[in-house]
Structure 1
Amino acid sequence: MNKTGAAEARDVLVIGGNRYFGKRLIARLVAAGDRVTVLNRGSSPPPPGAVQLVADRDDEDALTTALGSRTFDVVIDQVCYTPRQAATALRVFTGRTRRYVMTSTVEVYEYEDSIAPVRESDVDPSSVAVDLGLPWHDPEFLDAHYGEGKRQAEAVFAAAGAAGFPYVSVRVAHVLGGADDFTGRLAHYAERVRTGEPIAVPSPNHPATYIHVEEIADFLFWAAGETFTGPVNAASHRPLSTEELCEAVAAHVSDGRTVFQEVEVGEVSPFAFRRSYPMDNSRATKLGFTFGNARQWLGRAVVETLGKEDRHA
């Protein structure tokens, strides 16, 4: 586990991030003595020790007003999903921060199909076309183009990075663990294992890379204190297959059985992938972060999320 203490307290702004690994990140920053400000729409209070600013990040005027004359050593943007949001952030934060960390996603690689783990250079944001005219404001469009939205957001920051804007895009693997996992993805498998209902998977079904909820909080905390820029992959060692996930879930479901159903077309289960794009984490490793092994923490993640015993046994 990596803990990077600052020589002196920093002024850190976290945009969004009041739940799941975001709240763990904020707790780490506060514990390190940083002065933490959380900016969100005000739907929930900030974690203890943080100051709250209320504004809609899509409203540039409201965002500028809420910030006032504040400047920050680091901005960690947990909720930048579109190139429009990235462009707004650039206009607002240029000259206000010495480091801008955007939480991105493994889904920027969704068009890849590679047996070898993908490296950051496989999706170079400086070569990604940006289309601000797409309906990024439409929730259904955004949900269907999540990876593309993140890819184009990175591209906006990359163009600014070439001109000196100090950005980092953390490409986060699929996150598991924690009793507060709101995604319902492991619960999906638990319900099917419990009932024997078929689990839809493609053929072939490829493994993927994952990271524990505590580990990604550690990683973002670490990245905030470093000096490197550009994209960086954040993933535990060793990909996991759907079969391994189900085996770990089945160990905590009484009298369940796992039934896989291969489908040629149509919807498949969470964490079932038609393309292969496991992430290479060597850049972060060389920069000094020590990752865990997904196969070693998977059982713990299942226990945290589903409970020590089958809740419906």
Structure 2
Amino acid sequence: MTKALVLGGTRFFGVQLVESLLQQGVEVTVASRGNVEDPFGDKVSRIKVDRLDVGDMQKNFVHTDWDIVFDQICYSSQEAIDTIDVFAGKTKKYVFTSSKSVYELGGGEQGFIEEYFNPFEYNLNIGPKEDFSYGEGKRQAEVAFFSRAPFPVVAVRFPIVIGINDYTDRLNYYIKKVRDQADIHLVNLEAAIDFISEEEAGDFLAWVGQSDFEGPINATSNGNVKIGELLAYIEEKVGKSAIVVADTKEESDSPYNISKTWLISNEKAERQGYEFRELKEYLPSLIEEALIKINTK
């Protein structure tokens, strides 16, 4: 039986990853600080560990071995290097959750392909996550893994993950703004953005972990929406019109506020055999479900 360790599998699409692995008959161990109660009951084993304390990691994983390690919570080169030291000789494969943010804003209508950021040719700068922006931290983590890991590595580059269990409340932010008739600051309603659902994100991680693939790979639902289209979906479900305030800068509290189209291509993953969902087929029902949940709180 395949043995998998999931670093950070107790919320959002980490839960979906664990569920997908269990459905595949994988023996799963979840490693976390133990601050969030998970829904898995006796279906998984658990290790309580501080991901940011390399000594604690080494102590807890000293006599372990895994077929796959899934890392949901690595944000810098230093964290990646510490993790490599912990798991060297203890895993056959490592799947790291990276981000679309390794690409600069843009990508055009076709979207960035993986080669637009090549971690094998990027300079390594070792430091903790406080030393980097989010995007640069993910770049540096990829560089560290691919340049120093003695085991095969996959870096999965997700766009924004959306779902009913999204603790960041980014989609809910816009739903609440429309419902409450509050101002929404946006730079460009014509800018297009892509997403992946929490179910799809978890399933893809489990799938690529069991595949022979190594290297960076994008994973996103098929299709995209313009910011204006997204608001139109929300307006339809809420029954009110959005109050959009044109702005000249990207407001930090407006999570999808981008100045130009920013997309990634999932062609490589599709060539590997993964079938993605159509964004516009599930987005309206997700908005409706999220609205019901918001209104019942």
Distance 1:210 1:14, change over 3 A: same
1:166 and 2:166 are equivalent in the alignment: no
1:209 and 2:190 are equivalent in the alignment: no
* 1:116 positional shift: 3.3
* 1:45 positional shift: 4.0
Contact kept in structure 2, 1:212 and 1:301, CA below 8 Å: no
1:45-99 C-alpha deviation (Å, 9 max, x unpaired): 4432111111112222211111131100000001011111100111111111111
Match 1:151 to one of 127, 132, 139: 139
SS at match of 1:87: helix
Contact kept in structure 2, 1:117 and 1:278, CA below 8 Å: yes
Q: Distance in 2 between matches of 1:311 and 1:19?
A: 22
1:61-100 to 2 correspondences below 5 Å: 61-100=55-94
Distance 1:112 1:193, change over 3 A: closer
Q: Distance in 1 between matches of 2:169 and 2:110?
A: 29
**Aligned positions, number:** 293
What is aligned with 2:20? 28
* 1:196 positional shift: 2.9
Query: 1:300 corresponds to which letter in structure 2?
Result: S
Distance 1:157 1:61, change over 3 A: same
1:20-59 to 2 correspondences below 5 Å: 20-46=12-38, 47-48=40-41, 49-59=43-53
1:185 and 2:177 are equivalent in the alignment: no
Contact kept in structure 1, 2:186 and 2:250, CA below 8 Å: no
1:141-182 C-alpha deviation (Å, 9 max, x unpaired): 66xx11111111001111136xx530000001211122x221
Return 5+ residue gaps in structure 2 as ranges: none
* 1:266 positional shift: 4.8
Q: Between the two proteins, what is the percent identity of the paired residues?
A: 31
In angstroms, what is the RMSD of aligned CA positions?
2.0
1:249-299 C-alpha deviation (Å, 9 max, x unpaired): 122214x11232221125162212124331110000000000111111111
TM-score by length of 2: 0.92
* 1:230 positional shift: 0.5
Query: 1:176 corresponds to which letter in structure 2?
Result: I
Contact kept in structure 2, 1:205 and 1:272, CA below 8 Å: no
Query: 2:191 corresponds to which letter in structure 1?
Result: H
Contact kept in structure 2, 1:17 and 1:79, CA below 8 Å: no
What is aligned with 2:295? 311
Q: Distance in 2 between matches of 1:182 and 1:230?
A: 29
Contact kept in structure 1, 2:187 and 2:258, CA below 8 Å: yes
* 1:303 positional shift: 2.2
SS at match of 2:73: coil
Query: 1:154 corresponds to which letter in structure 2?
Result: E
TM-score by length of 1: 0.87
Match 1:264 to one of 240, 248, 260: 248
* 1:205 positional shift: 4.7
What is aligned with 1:276? 261
What is aligned with 1:3? none
Return 5+ residue gaps in structure 1 as ranges: 1-8
The structure 1 segments of at least 4 consecutive aligned residues displaced by more than 4 Å after TM superposition are none
Q: Distance in 1 between matches of 2:282 and 2:109?
A: 24
